Amino acid sequence: MNLSTFLGPADWLVFSFVLLSTFALVIWGNLRRPSLDDGSARVLDMLLMGRRLTLPFFTMTLVATWYGGILPVTEYAYQYGLYSWITQGGFWYLAYLVFAFLMVKRIRAGAARSMPELLGQLFGQRAAKVSAWFNLFNVLPVAYIASLGFFLQKLFGGEHLFLWMAMGTLVVLIYSSGGGLRSVVYSDVIQFAVMCTAVFLVIVFSWGQHGSPLSLMQHPNIPAGHWKPFGDGVPISDTLVWGLVAVGTLVDPNFYQRCLAAKSDRTARNGILLATGVWLLFDFCTCFGALYARAHLPEADSATAYLQYAVQLLPPGVKGFLLAGVLATILSTLDSYLFLAGTTLAHDILPGGEKNRPRVLQAGIWVVAAVALGMTLFFVDGPLVGIWKVFGGFTTACLLVPVLCGLMLPGKIPEIRFVLSCLCAALSMICFYFLRGHMGAFWAGLDPFYPGVLISLILLALPIGSRIERGN
């Protein structure tokens, strides 16, 4: 399906205006960047916008950054109904509240510039390096590069998906790599407004033409199992994994970065609470938008059913706005993840002084973009939502328990225990993944997340390695 066949001149005009507005706002924001002579100040400005992120900007950039997977989420909702809202929404809201009320002050207390730097203050430099590598794996934007490529291919046509992924990533690099976090934040302002308005318009026009969302409950094209919040025949272990992946928000470097960039503890806490309200409404719109698509396009490809339904539903001009909104959700997350992955590589992993750090940070962004683009070749044939489960689940299982112990019980966990916990959890997950097929039906259906967390807990709880710890 080529989406461009549904678009007219008004749609292309609106679509182009949104993109040009994004680029213009990024340029304007970069022009407002202060001139700094001190190397440390320049690094702080690039990494955290000088810790001057106000509540409106904090909320908009957090919302836009955290919701780049609109295509896999609507695909999941098309296939599973309300179960997608629980796994991709409900679990996460609880994690956001925990983060806002229990984590913000602890994270900001050390005045660190990144999550690994914070862990270095809590445990030591080896812990900082280990956590930096896990963070890099977590924020490699493989799913979002793939989503961008799929979207551009569906919009313009053609068979070379990888070419669309590469071209889209190049555009993001050009507009976002020069100004640091400031470029990302200012682009998120436009993207936030467009993405939220676009998904809301799909519900408004669907309600007007096909009836309220409640009327969908009686629609013959929507299976009854779609209205079961915890799924129809889905193993409880799979559902719990999504809940535990959502808890990974507590160790997500994007949240840490925005909190460290906020002007105050209150700004960070209130911004997360406001963002949670926006996410709840946004998830309602995407979930029920996908269900409208299921009702009226029951034979469509689930990966693109939402887009296909929307461009057939909306009037001229609004179609272009909707597609710009979908693109905005992808771009807003992709540029944030590229920036964070690049700065993790350059600032937290590579050695070096502060003098030329801004240029090194920019180079790091281009390097991780190339790595992530290459990794899409291994994941592009599967469901994109599964990429989150692999990357997010792996990192969460290894970092969640030791990081929380360090924040909640500072000084109680030695550095060597932190390092062993992370590395052994990772090794156990890898081994379990390759061996579970030979361990019986129960083990074959168990996600590697569980043994990873279990090993992490054991290594932190048992009195092992005491001689090493005393020597450390």
Over the stretch 421-432, which tens digit does the pLDDT of each residue have? 999 999 998 888
Better pLDDT: 55 or 328: 55
In a domain, 49, yes or no: yes
Q: What average pLDDT does this structure show over 143-154?
A: 88
146-150, 173-177, 193-197, 467-471: least confidently modelled range: 467-471
Contact 306, 78 (CB under 8 A): yes
Determine the Cα–Cα distance for residues 11 and 321; give it in Å rounded to an integer. 7
Domain count, the chain: 1
Write out the two tokens for 400: 């969640």
For the cut 70, the answer to whether the pLDDT of residue 466 exceeds it is no
Query: By residue range, what is the domain housing residue 269?
Result: 3-381
Instruction: Annotate 240-257 with b (16+ C-beta within 10 A) or e (fewer).
Output: ebbebbbbbbbbbbbbbb
Work out the pLDDT band at 279, boundaries 50, 70, 90.
very high
In a domain, 404, yes or no: no
In a domain, 419, yes or no: no
Q: What average pLDDT does this structure show over 251-255?
A: 89
Write out the two tokens for 325: 């909104």
- Looking at residue 268, its pLDDT comes to 95
Q: Percentage of the chain surpassing pLDDT 90?
A: 40
In a domain, 408, yes or no: no
Helix axes 39-48, 253-261, angle to 10 degrees: 120
For the cut 90, the answer to whether the pLDDT of residue 294 exceeds it is yes
Better pLDDT: 449 or 302: 302
Better pLDDT: 388 or 232: 232
Q: What average pLDDT does this structure show over 325-342?
A: 87
What is the DSSP code (8-state) at residue 53?
A: B
Better pLDDT: 455 or 444: 455
Work out the pLDDT band at 262, boundaries 50, 70, 90.
very high
Q: What average pLDDT does this structure show over 227-250?
A: 82
| CATH number, domain containing residue 90 | 1.20.1730.10
In a domain, 106, yes or no: yes
For the cut 50, the answer to whether the pLDDT of residue 52 exceeds it is yes
Q: What average pLDDT does this structure show over 30-43?
A: 72
Based on C-alpha coordinates, what's the Rg of the chain?
A: 22
Q: What average pLDDT does this structure show over 280-297?
A: 94
Average model confidence (pLDDT) for the chain?
Answer: 85
In a domain, 278, yes or no: yes
**pLDDT one-digit tens code per residue, 68-104:** 678 788 988 999 999 988 888 888 999 999 999 999 9
- Looking at residue 388, its pLDDT comes to 63
Q: Percentage of the chain surpassing pLDDT 70?
A: 91
Write out the two tokens for 67: 């919701």
- Looking at residue 87, its pLDDT comes to 86
Helix axes 265-296, 91-98, angle to 10 degrees: 180
In a domain, 390, yes or no: no
Q: What average pLDDT does this structure show over 343-350?
A: 88
Closest listed residue to residue 4, CA positions, set 151, 195, 156, 196: 156
**pLDDT one-digit tens code per residue, 397-436:** 899 999 998 888 888 889 999 999 999 999 998 888 888 7
**pLDDT one-digit tens code per residue, 361-379:** 788 889 999 999 998 887 6
13-22, 321-330, 456-465: least confidently modelled range: 456-465
Phi-psi domain of 349 (left: phi exceeds 0; alpha: psi -120 through 50; beta: other) = alpha
Determine the Cα–Cα distance for residues 257 and 253; give it in Å rounded to an integer. 6
In a domain, 447, yes or no: no
What is the DSSP code (8-state) at residue 112?
A: -
